[in-house]
Amino acid sequence: MLLGNKRYWIFQLVGWSAFLTMHIFFAWFYGKFSKPADQEFLLLRAFVYVAIGVLLTHLMRMFILKFRLLSVKIQRQILYFILLSIFTAFICGYAEQIAFRTLHLNSARELELMKSKSFLSILLMNTLSWMMYILSWNSFYLIYHYITYAQQERIQTLQLKSLVKELELNTIKSNINPHFIFNALNSIRALVNENPDRARDAITELSNILRSSINMHKTQTVPLNQEIKIVEDYLALEYIRFEDRLKVVFEIDKDTLPLPIPPMMVQSMVENAIKHGISQEVNGGTIKISAQIKKTSLELLVLNTGRLNGNGKNDGFGVKSTNERLNLIYGEKGCFAIKQLDADTVQAKVTIRIN
């Protein structure tokens, strides 16, 4: 913040060089460079002008950044920049008056004026003269940052939309498992002749799951009780395949039922528990689904018999994508983690802060 970046100093150099060039051009145009002494005198005056301008506008920029004037609403920005321009022009006018007196750079006309005008009157004229330059500097600075921030915001919006679409696609892929659908259809086909009533119920359960999967992106959250019904339908279909190899335990605190959660999230956790846990065990196992409020958070747990694949690190795609989905909806209030709870149990946990 003290030195500024390369682009800032390029703009400073170009801007004040243009000011210096303009100052010299008009002095030459009006014939003030006729004598070598005049040339040295006018050049020194011009460089003092530029030195004051560079120093004071840089200090002004530090003030703008320190107090974050660019982060307020545009109406307030304009007001603050006008007030800051007036103050900076006053300081520039005062610095010019002191520097010119100290270095004896006042022209003959200015010396005559100093005899008839007070110090305050001359300071006011200098301030008005500097106002044009400082307002121009601030206008360029404000417009440049306004355009830059608008472009950055547009880029971030496009990136966010792209991320959301990618997450939606990944979530759909993770929630609509083709193998599950094929297994469910095969199970239903086997029931058609053996148990037609159960087959009809299974078709309804599969229909409910597919409908929820298709509609899941129309809303960010659903009540937990609605999600539990989908999980029950899913487990009922899996029970046809696993029979006694699958045991299910629900421990759902009734106070958690109306609380909102991302749709199909618990179902996805249960599906992973069966795919990577129960189906890998010869004798099957148990899935426990619990929901409770702990202090200020909703805690959703899915425990299953089995062991984590690989080295058990909590950094797989499923963990990352679920955390990204929670982050999009809840920010830092939501998180997901999976771990090996003991030798034969894996725990997946979603925590959502509700207060």
- List the single range of 30-39, 56-65, 154-163 with lowest mean pLDDT: 30-39
Q: How far apart are the C-alpha atoms of 342 and 276, rounded to whole Å?
A: 16
User: What is the average per-residue pLDDT within 104-131?
Assistant: 85
pLDDT of res. 298: 94
Q: Which fold has domain 176-353?
A: Heat Shock Protein 90 (3.30.565)
CB 233 within 8 A of CB 209: yes
pLDDT of res. 248: 93
Residues forming beta bridges with residue 122, ordered by sequence position: none
Q: Kindly state the tokens that stand for 201.
A: 């119920």
**Total residue count of the chain as it appears in this document:** 355
- Higher-scoring residue by pLDDT: 44, 156: 44
Q: How far apart are the C-alpha atoms of 94 and 261, rounded to whole Å?
A: 63
Q: How far apart are the C-alpha atoms of 162 and 329, rounded to whole Å?
A: 16
Q: Can you give the residue ranges of every domain in the chain?
A: 6-157, 176-353
Q: How far apart are the C-alpha atoms of 252 and 227, rounded to whole Å?
A: 12
Instruction: Please name the residue that has the structure tokens 């759902």.
Output: 252
Q: Kindly state the tokens that stand for 172.
A: 């759909």
pLDDT of res. 326: 84
CA 220 to mean position of chain CA atoms: 19
Whether 216 has a pLDDT exceeding 80, the answer reads: no
pLDDT of res. 312: 47
Full-prediction pTM beyond 0.85? Answer: no
CB 46 within 8 A of CB 105: no
Give me the percent of the chain exceeding a pLDDT of 70: 87
**Mean per-residue pLDDT of the chain:** 84
Instruction: Please name the residue that has the structure tokens 């297994």.
Output: 183
- The pLDDT-based confidence of 206 (bands split at 50, 70, 90) is confident
CB 287 within 8 A of CB 251: no
pLDDT of res. 329: 81
User: Could you report the per-residue pLDDT of 253-312, keeping only the tens digit for each?
Assistant: 999 999 999 888 898 889 889 888 888 888 889 999 999 999 889 999 999 999 887 544
pLDDT of res. 117: 84
pLDDT of res. 301: 95
Instruction: Please name the residue that has the structure tokens 């321009």.
Output: 85
